[in-house]
């Protein structure tokens, strides 16, 4: 591999000739040979948005001339479009402030400008990576701002639409099976009736709450600490830089970010991300139940519950011919488990650092973005390849409902709990129907029993 020589404050460093990064990045590649994880590309693109907005703000505030502004603007635009992705080699496991990644971005943009201007790479002409590209900024305020940009964009443009699709499908199923009465179950034991539609409606209601929680968390994420520089005080910025740069960020993203009133809070701690991670964990908990209920209800096909039929996507066994497994549900609960684990890392990261700086920023955003991606992908796949194709097995549902002993619950207001329990015990012990047991015990006639025990009426309030 051919190299060129670049310099930073520590001296000369060899840099691959085909890369746009410089000495500071090369040192980071050498000093952090840890793991295979790289900084999420969403952070790199978010940095492009931030640097583009920063140079526009600095020009508006008369801190940088139009020529430099136009050059950096063009380079940042290429970064946003993904044209410079190959120039970001640093490990995720770097300094906790994300400084190496900010330097990486500064160098790539500066060298891209050198290319555009016909200057030599590493010449720092016509713009300097620290003096110009990083003007009015610090790694300490830019990295958490990039975290917020990446998370908000991923939530609003990726995850929330997928959750809306899932909610729509659940609501569709709830209407489709609104009148189909089936056995309810508590403690994995038979319980009073419910409709299959009500079962799906319950999931839709849970999901509605989660969507509301995510939207609520967005309010806190959108308060950006940019303009706080090193410790939140705004050293080396011009008055109103924070407000001006946020205006340009909103023009680029079409979002509604605001400049945080207290910049230190967004640099020293990341409570908004800890909060978001908790919401994502809650979503994972919901999805795990949805997945496991899907598995239970479709179990069989002859020796399980088998009240619903799931799509047959692929063979389920390398040894048992004809076996079909609930693979989409299994993928969904595994992804959910990983999201729950990620939340632990975010919680630890959120409490890490001292005084004016949290030093687990890369850890936090890596796990946040992975959780969003895992949830979105697994939900979309489950929705398309499982939920949309679920059908009720009406015969199996009717069979279970007819044999359920918990239909006796409808008799509580009529003959009391003790006599109703006696009927249920007799029916179970002597293997007879509830009606037969009630008649034999002399508590009700067959006609009276039929008038009181109506499974459909048991799915709603039934006392006048």
pLDDT in tens, 29-43: 999 999 999 999 999
Run of H or E residues at 276: helix 271-297
For residues 12 and 5, give the distance between their C-alpha atoms in angstroms, rounded to a whole number.
6
**Can you say whether the dihedral through the CA atoms of 225, 231, 236, 239 is positive or negative?**
positive
* Boundary (domain end) residue, out of 364, 395, 426: 395
Q: Which residues pair with 13 in a beta bridge?
A: 6
For residues 364 and 274, give the distance between their C-alpha atoms in angstroms, rounded to a whole number.
8
For residues 244 and 59, give the distance between their C-alpha atoms in angstroms, rounded to a whole number.
10
Secondary structure letter of residue 301 according to DSSP: S
For residues 286 and 213, give the distance between their C-alpha atoms in angstroms, rounded to a whole number.
13
pLDDT over 90 at 464, yes or no:
no
**Which domain does 79 fall in, by range?**
3-135
Binding residue numbers for substrate: 97-99, 128-131, 138-140, 186, 318, 323-325
Q: Is residue 247 assigned to a domain?
A: no
Residues 90 and 130 in one domain: yes
Q: Is residue 324 assigned to a domain?
A: yes
Q: What is the pLDDT of residue 463?
A: 83
Residues 420 and 288 in one domain: no
Cα 36 to its chain centre, rounded Å, is 22
* Boundary (domain end) residue, out of 395, 416, 440: 395
Residues 128 and 259 in one domain: no
CATH number reported for the structural domain that contains residue 54 in this entry = 1.10.275.10
Opening angle at CA 247, ends 246 and 252, nearest 5? 95
pLDDT in tens, 177-229: 999 999 999 999 999 999 999 999 999 999 999 999 999 999 999 999 999 99
Q: Where are the alpha helices (DSSP H) in 232-270?
A: 241-253, 263-268
**Can you say whether the dihedral through the CA atoms of 92, 93, 99, 103 is positive or negative?**
negative
Q: Find the mean pLDDT for residues 403-428.
A: 97
CA distances from 184 to 165, 196, 253, 369, 452 (A): 27, 9, 47, 38, 19
Residue pair 300/306 in contact by the 8 Å Cβ criterion: yes
Residues 372 and 422 in one domain: no
Residues 305 and 428 in one domain: no
Residue with structure tokens 């939530």?
155
CA dihedral 346, 352, 355, 357 (to 10 degrees): -60
Instruction: Name the pTM for this structure.
Output: 0.96
Residues 129 and 106 in one domain: yes
Catalytic residues: 187, 317
Residue pair 194/459 in contact by the 8 Å Cβ criterion: yes
Residues 416 and 341 in one domain: no
Q: What is the pLDDT of residue 42?
A: 98
Residue pair 40/150 in contact by the 8 Å Cβ criterion: yes
Q: Find the mean pLDDT for residues 109-137.
A: 98
Q: CB-based contacts of 351: which residues, under 8 Å, 6+ apart?
A: none
Q: Is residue 191 assigned to a domain?
A: no
Residues 171 and 264 in one domain: yes
Run of H or E residues at 183: strand 181-186
pLDDT over 90 at 462, yes or no:
no
- Indicate the number of domains in the chain: 3
For β-strands 189-195 and 181-186, DSSP reports them as: antiparallel
Q: How confident is the model at residue 324 (pLDDT cuts 50, 70, 90)?
A: very high
Residue pair 101/42 in contact by the 8 Å Cβ criterion: no
Question: Judging by beta carbons within 10 Å of its beta carbon (0-12, 13-18, 19+), is residue 418 exposed, middle or buried?
Answer: exposed
Residues 364 and 298 in one domain: yes
Residue with structure tokens 């009406």?
394
For residues 397 and 419, give the distance between their C-alpha atoms in angstroms, rounded to a whole number.
27
Share of the chain above pLDDT 70, in %: 100
Q: How confident is the model at residue 1 (pLDDT cuts 50, 70, 90)?
A: confident
pLDDT in tens, 135-160: 999 999 999 999 999 999 999 999 99
Q: Is residue 464 assigned to a domain?
A: no
Q: Is residue 246 assigned to a domain?
A: no
Residues 326 and 371 in one domain: yes
Mean pLDDT of the chain: 97
């Amino acid at each position: 591999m051919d190299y060129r020589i670049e310099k930073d404050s520590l001296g000369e460093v060899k840099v691959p000739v085909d890369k746009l990064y410089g000495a500071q990045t090369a040192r980071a590649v050498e000093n952090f040979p840890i793991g295979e994880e790289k900084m999420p590309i969403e952070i790199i693109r978010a940095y492009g948005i931030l640097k583009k907005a920063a140079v526009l703000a600095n020009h508006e505030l008369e801190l940088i001339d139009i020529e430099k502004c136009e050059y950096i603007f063009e380079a940042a635009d290429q970064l946003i479009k993904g044209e410079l992705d190959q120039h970001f080699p640093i490990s995720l496991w770097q300094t906790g402030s994300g400084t190496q990644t900010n330097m990486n971005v500064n160098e790539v943009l500066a060298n891209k400008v050198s290319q555009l201007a016909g200057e030599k790479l590493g010449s720092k002409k016509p713009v300097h990576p620290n003096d110009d590209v990083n003007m009015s900024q610090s790694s300490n305020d830019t990295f958490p701002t990039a975290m917020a940009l990446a998370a908000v964009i991923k939530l609003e443009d990726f995850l929330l639409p997928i959750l809306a699709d899932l909610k729509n499908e659940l609501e569709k199923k709830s209407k489709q099976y609104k009148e189909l009465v089936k056995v309810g179950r508590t403690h994995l034991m038979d319980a009073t009736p419910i409709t299959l539609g009500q079962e799906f409606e319950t999931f839709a209601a849970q999901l509605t709450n989660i969507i509301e929680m995510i939207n609520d968390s967005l309010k806190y994420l959108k308060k950006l600490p940019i303009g706080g520089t090193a410790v939140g005080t705004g050293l080396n910025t011009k008055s109103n830089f924070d407000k001006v740069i946020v205006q340009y960020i909103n023009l680029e993203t079409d979002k509604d970010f605001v400049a945080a009133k207290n910049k230190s809070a967004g640099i020293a701690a990341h409570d908004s991300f800890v909060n978001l991670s908790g919401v994502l964990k809650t979503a994972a908990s919901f999805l795990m139940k949805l997945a496991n209920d899907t598995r239970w209800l479709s179990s069989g096909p002859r020796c399980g519950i088998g009240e619903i039929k799931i799509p047959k996507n692929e063979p389920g066994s390398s040894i048992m011919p004809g076996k079909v497994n609930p693979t989409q549900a299994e993928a969904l609960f595994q992804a959910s488990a990983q999201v729950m684990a990620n939340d632990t890392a975010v919680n630890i990261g959120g409490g890490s650092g001292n005084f004016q700086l949290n030093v687990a920023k890369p850890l936090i955003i890596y796990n946040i973005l992975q959780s969003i991606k895992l949830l979105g992908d697994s939900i979309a796949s489950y929705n398309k390849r499982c939920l949309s194709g679920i059908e009720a097995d009406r015969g199996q549902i009717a069979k279970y409902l007819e044999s359920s002993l918990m239909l006796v619950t409808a008799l509580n207001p009529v003959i009391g709990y003790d006599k109703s329990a006696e009927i249920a015990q007799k029916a179970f012990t002597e293997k007879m129907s509830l009606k037969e047991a009630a008649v034999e015990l002399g508590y009700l006639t067959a006609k009276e029993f039929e008038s009181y025990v109506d499974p459909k009426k048991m799915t709603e309030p039934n006392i006048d």
